[in-house]
Amino acid sequence: MTLQRNFEPDILGFLCNWCSYAGADLAGVSRFQYPPNVRIIRVMCSARVDPTIVLEAFIRGLDGIMVLGCHLGTCHYMTGNYYMERRMKTAKKVLKNVGLNPERLLVDWVSAAEGERFATLVKEFTEKVRKLGPLGEETDLELQQLRTRLFAAKEALAQQRIRWLVGRERELAEDKNVFGEKVSQEEFDQLMLQTIEKEFAKRRILLSMGEDALSVKEIAQRVEASPREVLKNMVSLERAGLVSVVGIEGNSPKYRRAGG
């Protein structure tokens, strides 16, 4: 992609009603000026922001997303911002897999009394995204490739395996499981990363196949991965009933997406 001249980043902010949205209002009441690049969507709690919505926003071409909540420990709903933080952490990891700079997603905390802080955050984030350039500037991907990857990332975040892990993080990493075992934060992060990579790879495969019947080698070319990796994923996808073998060509099976 080529750098646009006078690039003005297009940014959406998801703000919780009780703290950050009130903080944004206070910036207005206090007349703290900030660039008009950010538009705000109000949610009752930042925990309402499903990570797939963030991905969808990038698919639609937004250059940066802010998700702001109450400071930790002061959430109007007691624990909402902790959930948001964990979910967005996962969204950032997925963005990295896509090839995007995860800093395009800003997670931060603004209280109802921090109008000036909100204005500063917007200024700094707008500057940061301006430097990063239009979405995808940091990659070598064509727009269509980028969109496909983002789509795969969004699909991955919609998968129950990842959502389940995100939801259980606190329990798994802080408490013991039913067998009295405790997973360390590092172990959990490792597990999370592997799961994200696996889910992302599988979604990319599915999206790349379209309606075609393809061999592992052909798929591997499409997703730029090793045939060995792809084969592993094909077996798993077949088991999940998402692809089926529709024929054999030479020694290699041909796969097609199941159910359309």
Q: Which residues bind other proteins (CB under 8 A)?
A: 10, 12, 17, 21-22, 24-25, 27-29, 31-36, 39-45, 47-51, 53, 56-57, 60-62, 76-80, 83, 87, 119, 158, 160-161, 163-164, 166-168, 171
Residue 169 near residue 186 (C-beta atoms within 8 A): no
In the complex with other proteins, which residue's Cβ is closer, 113 or 245?
Answer: 113
Q: How far is the CB of 93 from other proteins (least distance, A)?
A: 16
Query: Minimum CB separation from other proteins for residue 220, in Å?
Result: 30
Distance CA 47, CA 164 (A): 15
Question: Measured from the CB atom, is 86 or 257 closer to other proteins?
Answer: 86
First to last CA, the chain: 33
Least separation in angstroms between CB 172 and other proteins? 11
Minimum CB–partner distance for residue 42 and other proteins (Å): 7
Look up residue 203 and give its two tokens: 């979604």
Return d(Cα 117, Cα 119) in angstroms, integer.
Answer: 5
166 vs 234, beta carbon nearer other proteins = 166
- Closer of 53 and 156 to other proteins (Cβ): 53
CB of 105 to other proteins, least distance (A): 14
